[in-house]
């Protein structure tokens, strides 16, 4: 990586040049540098609304970049060790879907773990590809699904030699990593592409002593959430390509769904954040790791909690662990993760990333300070002292192995009727049901609904999880196939 080159931020520089020229706008957006919407200008500031501009020759165009945006993409590719990179303004959802749509067409098989983000299954609804799930092993105490074991991936490949790709989470939301290098070798030996969802892995490209990044492991494509651990604005991400992938074709796929009115606020934030990570990422993520490890040690000394980390590594289903993830098991205190999540927000003004049935996740990144960590640890100690209760009758587990009956696309577009959740067992789901975050479906279109799944949905709903995916906003009814 050329450090001098990485000091440049071409989109940022072009916007600064544009701002100084005081150009009279007879183009969109219609707020005209905020003058037409003074409340918006007051909320976001004159400088921000003044840079909310449309694509124009001096600023390039994301759909077909030839100057400053292309330059920024090439700098991003170099910083991340990729052959090519695309700036994405539709979030990592858009990047994940572009990866899948680039390699899959209707009827193609794709091998993937079932604990994927809903964006991956939504891509199968769009293109008609068929999922072949490698059902991951589950840690029954923590109630989380683990990584893809090589033996299971090999079995799926042998049983489905016509599959076109293998899709891997690197890492999972909870910090668990599969053996990326071995999966890549195995898939490539059978002529399959490897796609990585690195929504939670931006830092793997810059931090030391962290799990391997997808590009370094030889994966063909990776979707990276710069806005999560990388510091860019919400909804801005990168799609990385390795050598041997046709970038011009991928750009065409991206342009099928991505906006033609890309936000320069998002684009410039990607440009500036890439520069920041390239120049200061290693030291920044060393501090993040240090803070997360300190928090883990302090939380484990409280009692009742289990902040897990590298101690989980077993070389197979947990090949490696991302220590920047502060995942904490809460059931030892008789409290569901979502209950601790609510208590931290309502009683202590602390907003963590999510709470599920068994765990909470506090996202530690380059913007955190040690005093914030101390406040979180103190609040968790308080919660343990004041709210601890008997755990009898509490469910554990966020993953129930599904039975896929028909493809997500066919189920999504089939005739459906609405039935009460309590009466849905034995029917085929026509929609998604999930707790968000983390956005891993409990049910996806085309899957058989079981009594266990019904019980889990009702329990999660009653505990206060934010339930999504269903037509019914209250999640009391499910859309099921009629035939």
Judge whether 433 lies within some domain.
yes
Cα distance between residue 211 and residue 198, in whole Å: 12
CATH of the domain at 217: 3.40.640.10
- E strand or H helix that includes residue 153: helix 150-159
- E strand or H helix that includes residue 144: strand 144-145
Judge whether 473 lies within some domain.
yes
Q: Which of 340, 356, 387 is the last residue of a domain?
A: 387
Phi/psi of residue 102, nearest 5 degrees: -75, -25
Partners of 441 in beta bridges: 434
**Do 81 and 117 belong together in one domain?**
yes
- pLDDT score at 279: 97
**Do 187 and 138 belong together in one domain?**
yes
By DSSP bridging, strand 221-224 and strand 193-198 are parallel
**Do 243 and 132 belong together in one domain?**
yes
Cβ atoms < 10 Å from Cβ of 56: 13
Q: What is the pTM of this model?
A: 0.95
**Do 70 and 174 belong together in one domain?**
yes
**Do 130 and 253 belong together in one domain?**
yes
Q: Which tokens is 286 given?
A: 């060393």
Q: Is the separation of the CB atoms in 321 and 402 below 8 Å?
A: no
- pLDDT score at 153: 97
CATH of the domain at 317: 3.90.1150.10
Q: Is the separation of the CB atoms in 405 and 480 below 8 Å?
A: no
**Do 418 and 363 belong together in one domain?**
no
Judge whether 272 lies within some domain.
no
In sequence order, the 6+-apart residues with CB closer than 8 A to the CB of 456 are 395, 397, 400, 442
Token pair 């599959």: residue: 163
Mean pLDDT by 10 residues, the chain (483 residues): 92 94 90 93 94 94 97 98 98 98 97 93 96 88 91 97 98 96 98 98 97 98 97 97 97 96 97 98 97 98 96 96 97 94 97 93 94 98 95 70 90 96 96 85 93 91 88 95 87
CATH of the domain at 452: 3.90.100.10
Judge whether 46 lies within some domain.
no
Cα distance between residue 449 and residue 445, in whole Å: 10
**Do 425 and 458 belong together in one domain?**
yes
By DSSP bridging, strand 306-307 and strand 221-224 are unpaired
Judge whether 137 lies within some domain.
yes
**Do 113 and 243 belong together in one domain?**
yes
**Do 359 and 437 belong together in one domain?**
no
Largest CA distance in the chain: 67
Cα distance between residue 345 and residue 462, in whole Å: 18
Judge whether 289 lies within some domain.
yes
- If one counts the domains in the chain, the total is 3
**Do 165 and 235 belong together in one domain?**
yes
Cα distance between residue 127 and residue 10, in whole Å: 35
Judge whether 105 lies within some domain.
yes
Q: Which structural domain range is residue 97 located in?
A: 60-258
**Do 80 and 177 belong together in one domain?**
yes
- pLDDT score at 397: 64
- pLDDT score at 31: 95
Judge whether 16 lies within some domain.
no
Q: Which of 358, 387, 416 is the last residue of a domain?
A: 387
**Do 250 and 300 belong together in one domain?**
no
Q: Which of 258, 273, 307 is the last residue of a domain?
A: 258
């Amino acid at each position: 990586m050329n450090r001098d080159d990485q000091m440049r931020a071409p989109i940022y520089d072009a916007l600064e040049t544009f701002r100084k020229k005081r150009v009279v706008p007879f183009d969109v957006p219609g707020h005209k540098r905020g003058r037409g919407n003074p409340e918006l200008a007051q909320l976001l500031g004159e400088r921000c609304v003044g840079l909310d501009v449309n694509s124009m020759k001096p600023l390039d165009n994301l759909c077909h970049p030839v100057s400053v945006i292309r330059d920024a993409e090439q700098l991003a590719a170099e910083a991340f060790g990729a052959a090519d990179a695309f700036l994405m303004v539709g979030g990592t959802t858009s990047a994940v879907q572009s990866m899948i749509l680039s390699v899959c067409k209707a009827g193609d098989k794709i091998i993937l773990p079932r604990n994927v983000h809903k964006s991956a299954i939504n891509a199968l609804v769009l293109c008609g590809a068929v999922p072949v799930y490698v059902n991951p092993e589950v840690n029954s105490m923590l109630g989380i699904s683990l990584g893809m074991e090589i033996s299971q991936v090999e079995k799926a490949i042998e049983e489905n030699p016509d599959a076109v790709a293998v899709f891997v989470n690197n890492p999972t939301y909870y910090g668990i990593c599969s053996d990326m290098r071995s999966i890549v070798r195995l898939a490539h030996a059978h002529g399959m592409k490897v796609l990585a969802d690195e929504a939670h892995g931006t830092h793997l490209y810059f931090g030391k002593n962290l799990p391997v990044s997808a590009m370094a492991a030889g994966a063909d494509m990776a979707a990276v959430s710069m806005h999560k651990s990388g510091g860019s604005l919400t909804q801005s991400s990168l799609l990385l390509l390795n050598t041997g992938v046709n970038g011009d074709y991928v750009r065409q796929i991206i342009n099928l769904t991505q906006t033609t009115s890309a936000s320069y606020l998002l684009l410039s934030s990607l440009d500036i954040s890439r520069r920041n990570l390239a120049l200061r990422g290693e030291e920044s993520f060393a501090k993040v790791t240090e803070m997360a490890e300190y928090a883990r040690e302090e939380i484990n000394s409280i009692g009742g909690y289990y902040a897990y980390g590298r101690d989980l590594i077993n070389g197979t289903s947990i090949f490696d662990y991302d220590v920047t993830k502060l995942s904490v098991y809460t059931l030892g205190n008789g409290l569901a993760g979502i209950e601790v999540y609510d208590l931290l927000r309502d009683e202590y003004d602390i907003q963590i990333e999510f709470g599920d049935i068994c765990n909470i996740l506090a996202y530690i990144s380059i913007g955190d300070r040690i005093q914030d960590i101390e406040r979180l640890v103190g609040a968790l100690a308080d919660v343990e002292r004041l709210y601890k209760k008997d755990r009898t009758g509490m469910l554990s587990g966020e993953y129930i192995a599904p039975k896929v009956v028909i493809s997500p696309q066919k189920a999504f577009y089939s005739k459906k009727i609405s039935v009460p959740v309590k009466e849905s067992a034995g029917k085929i789901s026509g929609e998604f049901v999930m707790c968000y975050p983390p956005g891993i479906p409990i049910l996806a279109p085309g899957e058989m609904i079981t009594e266990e799944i019904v019980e889990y949905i009702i329990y999660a709903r009653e505990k206060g999880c934010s339930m999504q995916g269903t037509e019914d906003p209250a999640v009391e009814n499910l859309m099921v196939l009629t035939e």
